[in-house]
Amino acid sequence: MIELKQVTKRYGATLAVDGLSFRAPEGQIVGLLGQNGAGKTTTLNMLTGYFPPTSGQVLVNGVDMLQDPRTCKRCIGYLPEKPPLYDEMTVAAYLAFVCELKEVERKAIPAHIKEIMATCGLTEVSQRLVGHLSKGYRQRVGVAQALCGNPPVIVLDEPTVGLDPRQVVEIRELMRQLGKDHTVIFSSHLLSEIQQLCQRVIILHKGKLIREADMADLTGGGDTLRLRASIAMKEKQLLPALKGLDCVRRVKVLPTSDVNITEVELECVTGGDRGDPQTQLFRLLCALDAPLRLLVPQRDTLEEVFLRATAEDDA
Amino acid sequence: MISVWKRELQSYFYTPVGYLFMGVFLALSSVMFYLQILAQRSSDLLTFIGQISYLWMLLTPVLTMRLLAEERQKRTDQLLLTSPVSLTGIVLGKYLAAVTVMLITVLLTMVYALIVAIYGQVYPGELLVGMMGFVLQGCAFIALDLFISGCATNPVSAAVMAFGVNFALWILDMVETSVSAGWLSDALNFFSLYARNEPFLMGQLSFASIGFDVSFAAACLVLTIHMLDSRRYRGA
């Protein structure tokens, strides 16, 4: 498990990361989301020991990165934004070198490399020079080097940037596979990517953590449920009754072309004594004899959550 | 450290750098051998070693230019610095790889001694001491140029800067003989890598010179490690 405690990083007068604290639990895919310059790469560089924080602590399985970097670094495989590849080496020779760096037992290296190359789809290019590979294959070699030594934590910095759509799908599938038996921490500014892959999301803005939650809670709204309803009743009669419901926190009227039909978006609180919001609404409408034409629970997209969170922070 | 040493050594021969260094060194030393030994029908190998020791100034930048500057330029240092290998291990591995290529080259120059031994007289003790001084001087230059490679942002500027510093050392050595102030002359003489080589070229095993060359190389390596570590802390 990785934990950051009040981590700050300054580049001269510039504050890149400001008092950041979060945990990446074991066996989860954690996404670091933020705009360009939000501090994602700096955070990952500190987390992997590339450079130390100005203040604060990075703990890997409870061990401080500054106190015992060797033990911590053994547990982490890192793919930086630009894969650290030596163009003059073959794929197999490069991976063998990384295995030696990661202190893999010499006898076990050939089998280990074979397994990693099979996982990353590199077997057919194993004897080709890294410098001759396409961008997609280079990225795969980058992921493969992060797997050398079988570290329990894999850290990937914007792993799909610059790839064509097919390569993006392949890398995402690879990350999904890795997430089954590794803790994967990756950064991205692509919301759809984070939404597809992550179980937990950390939103950074201007070097600060502004939201940290499980993906389901973040997009589901936690204890808040939004319902969109279309009801065959005039707005004047319906609205006071809707506002009188215990579970309804806010009512937003949506435009319609028919004055006899009211379309509303209701922000409701879940977990009340009188049952779930849908049931309460249904009972009310039965009592009013107002036919319900449509009822759809609304889920926030990550884009909405992200924009709302960053706008709140800016405000 | 061994993995870094092995990779760097392989890299010298995967790329033209190792061949370029060895080729140019052997070509220039062959010309000097012809002029100094064959053309003059001399067997004075120590003078010949003294002359080829100036090749370090020209050629060690070729060996060291990529070692740290290219890692920084291509961001491959991220792999090394996030692996369990220590900074000391990384710097030593790279230094020893350059020294290994230098030693292979020096070993090849033994052919000259063999030619002299066939047609004339070679004094093994004298030759051994001369070669020791020659190798120690090369080790000191490599350590200095490795430090410069760590300061540079790309291999070309590393090579130009290293050559400039090596050349400045040679100029200072010449200045030392012409300055009138005794204390300045003594100071320049003390720190001169060329003056330190003179006892070896007279066949004397000078422990002071050995100590100086080894300390000089060690100081450059320690400075390199500290410089890289300080850059990590600054996050630059």
Across the interface, whether the CB atoms of B4 and A70 are under 8 A apart is answered no
Across the interface, whether the CB atoms of A84 and B75 are under 8 A apart is answered yes
pLDDT band at A315 (very low <50, low <70, confident <90, very high): low
Instruction: Give A-chain residues touching B234 at CB under 8 angstroms.
Output: 11-12
**pLDDT at residue A303 tops 80:** no
Considering only A228-242, B77-91, B92-106, which range has the smallest mean pLDDT? A228-242
Q: At what angle do helices A91-101 and A109-120 cross, to 10 degrees?
A: 120
Residues A223 and A213 sit within 8 Å (Cβ to Cβ) = no
Of the candidates A41, A50, A56, which has an alpha carbon nearest to the alpha carbon of residue A6? Answer: A56
B42 versus B220: the higher-pLDDT residue is B220
- Mean pLDDT taken over chain B: 88
Across the interface, whether the CB atoms of A101 and B4 are under 8 A apart is answered yes
Domain with B93, as residue range(s), is 2-234
The two structure tokens encoding residue A60: 């890997």
pLDDT digits (tens, 9 = 90+) for A74-128: 889 999 988 999 998 999 999 999 999 998 888 999 999 998 898 888 888 989 9
What residue in B sits closest to A9 (Cα-Cα)?
Answer: B235
pTM of structure: 0.80
Calculate mean pLDDT across residues B190-213: 81
**pLDDT at residue A241 tops 90:** no
- Establish if A11 touches chain B: CB-CB under 8 angstroms: yes
Q: How many contacts, defined by CB atoms under 8 Å, are there between A and B?
A: 74
- Establish if A9 touches chain B: CB-CB under 8 angstroms: yes
Across the interface, whether the CB atoms of A52 and B236 are under 8 A apart is answered no
Cβ-proximal residues to A238 (8 Å cutoff; 6+ apart), any chain: A231, A262, A264, A288, A290
- Establish if A27 touches chain B: CB-CB under 8 angstroms: no
What residue in B sits closest to A142 (Cα-Cα)?
Answer: B79
Across the interface, whether the CB atoms of B235 and A80 are under 8 A apart is answered no
**pLDDT at residue B104 tops 90:** yes
**pLDDT at residue B88 tops 90:** yes
- The whole-number pLDDT of residue A222 equals 60
pLDDT digits (tens, 9 = 90+) for A22-34: 888 887 888 888 8
Task: State the nearest Cα–Cα gap between B14 and chain A, in angstroms.
Answer: 6
Ordered domains of chain A (ranges, CATH): 2-219 (3.40.50.300), 222-298 (3.30.70.260)
Query: CA-to-CA distance for A265 and A281, rounded, in angstroms?
Result: 12
Residues A157 and A81 sit within 8 Å (Cβ to Cβ) = yes
A50, A76, A93 ranked by CB distance to B81: nearest: A50
What whole-number percentage of chain A has pLDDT above 90?
15
pLDDT digits (tens, 9 = 90+) for B68-78: 999 989 889 99
A299 versus A18: the higher-pLDDT residue is A18
Calculate mean pLDDT across residues B10-20: 90
Best of B71, B73, B79 to mutate (most A CBs within 10 Å, chain A)? B79
Residues B116 and B31 sit within 8 Å (Cβ to Cβ) = no
**pLDDT at residue A243 tops 90:** no
Residues A32 and A222 sit within 8 Å (Cβ to Cβ) = no
Backbone angles phi, psi at A260, to 5 degrees: -80, -5
What residue in A sits closest to B93 (Cα-Cα)?
Answer: A101
Domain count, chain B: 1
Residues B101 and B18 sit within 8 Å (Cβ to Cβ) = yes
Task: State the nearest Cα–Cα gap between B100 and chain A, in angstroms.
Answer: 19
